[in-house]
Amino acid sequence: MNLSFSYSDNNRVPGSNLGSTVMGRSLPQRPFDRPYKPDGSYYVGGTADLVYHNPVQILKEEVANLKNYRLLGNAFAELKFTPDLSFKTSFGSDIGYTHDYIYYNQQHPYGTGNGRIVDENRLLTNILLENTLSYSHTFGDLKLDLLGGHSFQRLPFPPPALTATGSPLRPSTCWRRLP
């Protein structure tokens, strides 16, 4: 039997999601563009003051987190009925769980003044079951090898997702996650 588990926790910089990529919004800015107004509030993109979304505003007003859990495993057994006849069974799994969380607060360009939450969970299970029956026998100068088998693989993919628009609160304060 072999088992392997991995976990990653990625607090990422906003990427290409909905066009709010920081690099994509920084490069076309004009040399004289500034992120903050004299009163400390943000210059808003799409106006004469700032042509594109404010990349500093995007960085400071968004939480983007991706957690990945993955379990790889296999187990196998072999049964010899006779020296010539054997049965082998193996079971393998690749199970991955991903939690993708993005929170745009009220100040974020995509928060639209109310805030926005994208909370997605994905469970991917790949199950493989294989059975083989083999026979190998020598008759004088003639050798006979026979192999028969069956393989079953199941790979369902139901991606549940939750998106809340117009909610200034984080999920932990406005609803609870059900198992």
pLDDT digits (tens, 9 = 90+) for 58-85: 888 888 889 999 999 999 999 999 999 9
Q: pLDDT confidence of 165, banded at 50, 70, 90?
A: low
Q: CA gyration radius for the chain?
A: 28
Q: Which two tokens stand for residue 82?
A: 């006779």
Question: What pLDDT sits at residue 120?
Answer: 86
Cβ neighbours of residue 30 under 8 Å, at least 6 residues apart? 51
Tokens of 87: 């049965």
Residue-level length of the chain: 179
pLDDT tens digit sequence for 119-163: 888 888 999 999 999 999 999 999 999 999 999 999 886 655 666
CB pairs under 8 A, 24+ apart, for 1-4?
1/73, 1/74, 1/75, 1/76, 2/72, 2/73, 2/74, 2/75, 3/71, 3/72, 3/73, 4/71, 4/72, 4/73
Pairing of the two strands 161-165 and 62-80: unpaired
Which amino acid makes up residue 66?
A: L
Give the Cα separation of 108 and 105 in Å (integer): 6
Inter-CA distances, 166 with 9, 66, 112, Å: 27, 23, 8
Q: What is the 3-state secondary structure (H, E, C) of 39-71?
A: CCCECCCCCCCCCCCCHHHHHHCEEEEEEEEEE
